[in-house]
Amino acid sequence: MAAFASTDRIFEPAMESVFGPGDRYDEFVILRELGTGSFARVYAAMSPDYEDPIALKLSRSVLGDEATALRALREVRILETLTNPHVVHIHDHGMGRDDRWYMVMELLRGADMLAVHDFHEPMDPVRAVRWAYEACVGLDEGHRLGIVHRDIKPENLWIQPSDHLKVIDFGLARGWDASSTMGISATMGHMLVGTPHYSQPEQVKGTPLTPASDVYSIGIVLYELLSARMPLFPKEPCNAVRERLLDEPLEWLSAHVKKPLVPLDKYRDCRKRLPYRLIQIVHWMLQKDPAKRPQTGGAAARSLASVLHGELDAPVAGLVQVQDRDGARSSSLMIPGQHTIGTHDRCLIQVGSDGSNRDLAKINWLGYTHEAIIEPVGAPHPTLRVELNGHPLEGPVRLVPGTVISVGSTRMVLEYPPR
Ligand SMILES: Nc1ncnc2c1ncn2[C@@H]1O[C@H](COP(=O)(O)OP(=O)(O)OP(=O)(O)O)[C@@H](O)[C@H]1O
């Protein structure tokens, strides 16, 4: 087992100045403090560059030590690349006159999940599954870029007044494959990262964390939302375990490896309230072996979306209705992100299979408040021409509701979920 080292121990704030309402930090005027983490303090503030208040995340010490600098730079580089509505967005970053690092973010209204839900009672399944779905969609964009969050827990899942969720605090995230934008060398050695409660068996065993590790942590959160129980302790309510093991990180960690998953349908209340397919998906997300889980947030999100569309009657994703050249009809769920129409089986919509393995068009959808953009990929195909309402697709076009996309003799229409 890897040695346990809390992440707070890599960081010792030196001479931290704490700001109150009306204080100035460089060009920012502090409105109020929003929260404190081990690494930074977050303030609501005004800036001459923005009309509305922003969130200012300010490192608690100067960027003197390497671990703090690496952590700050990682978080900025990751967040700058992410655009989907289920992650917090950053506007800017820099170094203050006192050499402290800061990041200017959108100011989120609402509260973290732990402040919104007390985990004493099971939550309505539609709300619980929608939150888990949105967290998976938020993480998926990072997963596609080779980035794992590594610290998924209710405190890092932010619930806005609209009840939509955003993933925050990518401070412990890192690359997991060679194509990552962050680089694998941004390492903190072999110490355990994150929170033991939402940690993963592979972390305890010292094997690398992958996107499937974030899926496991979301699986725990979802299980707890649905049942008010922790998946590894059958006899106690979730909050009793949380309290009992507050200072027992090693017991938490060994439970992830040694304690079997308590099936959700062991609880009569869950058997009665929850669709069987949902129970199976939660069990899938919580497999001890990462290779047996959904491999990315996107894979988990698609499964959760299909239960929301089907058994729970609460559509969240796009639905592409397809009619092929023989008149046969089918449909595909489309979660926010990038998708392709083409001739190979990794495409969201596969049109014909002439052995060419080509993408013909790509669709980018930011999610519930947006319309998707479709654009052609590469030179036009000799027979599989992409058309919108009968006109050739020559550049990026917004897919307004009702637009008919045709590729050769396949026709399709994208239906958006209700807002
Ligand atoms: N964009 C935001 N809008 C509003 N509040 C925020 C925002 N970002 C962070 N906060 C608040 O500030 C707190 C600390 O932020 P954050 O978790 O990012 O800091 P951290 O030092 O990286 O924490 P940790 O020790 O958990 O890694 C959060 O729990 C939240 O309450």
Q: What residue spans of 247-362 are helical by DSSP H? A: 249-258, 268-273, 276-285, 297-309
Residue 65 pLDDT class (50, 70, 90 cuts): low
Q: What is the pLDDT of residue 97?
A: 83
| pLDDT band, residue 15 (cuts 50/70/90) | low
Q: Is 17 left (phi over 0), alpha (psi -120 to 50) or beta?
A: beta
Q: What is the pLDDT of residue 11?
A: 38
Q: Is 259 assigned a ligand-binding role in the annotation? A: no
- In this structure, which topology does domain 24-106 adopt according to CATH? Phosphorylase Kinase; domain 1 (3.30.200)
Q: Do 315 and 307 contact (CB within 8 A), yes or no?
A: no
Hey, which residues are catalytic here? 151
Q: Is the CB of 157 under 6 A from ligand 1?
A: no
Centre of ligand 1 from the C-alpha of residue 35, in Å: 6
Instruction: Report the C-alpha gap between 34 and 31 in whole angstroms.
Output: 9
Which fold, 318-415? Tumour Suppressor Smad4 (2.60.200)
Name the closest-CA residue to atom 20, ligand 1. Answer: 37
Which is higher by pLDDT, 196 or 180? 196
| Whether the predicted pLDDT of 61 surpasses 80 | no
Is the CB of residue 417 below 6 angstroms from any atom belonging to ligand 1? no
Q: Using one digit for the tens of pLDDT, what is the confidence trace for 219-255?
A: 999 999 999 999 999 989 999 999 999 888 889 999 9
Give the model's pLDDT for residue 237.
94
How many CA within 13 A on the CB side of residue 310? 14
Is any atom of ligand 1 closer than 6 Å to the C-beta of 31?
Answer: no
H-helix segments, 145-210: 201-205
pLDDT in tens, 150-171: 899 999 999 999 999 999 988 7
- Prediction pTM value: 0.89
Whether CATH 1.10.510.10 fits 111-309: yes
Ligand 1 close to Cβ of residue 169 (< 6 A)? yes
Question: Between 149 and 66, where is the model more confident?
Answer: 149
Cα 42 to middle of ligand 1, angstroms: 6
Give the Å distance between the CA of 156 and the centre of ligand 1: 8
**Distance between CA atoms of residues 87 and 138, nearest Å:** 5
**Does the pLDDT at position 176 exceed 70?**
no
Angle (nearest 5°) at CA 307 between 301 and 308: 85
What is the 214 CA–ligand 1 centroid distance (Å)?
A: 19
At 29 the three-state DSSP class reads strand
- Which protein residue's CA is at the shortest distance from atom 11 of ligand 1? 35
Higher pLDDT, 68 or 7: 68
Q: What are the residue boundaries of the structural domains of the chain, listed by start?
A: 24-106, 111-309, 318-415
Reply yes or no on whether the pLDDT at 13 is more than 50: no
Any idea which of 219-228, 333-342, 379-388 has the lowest mean pLDDT?
Answer: 379-388
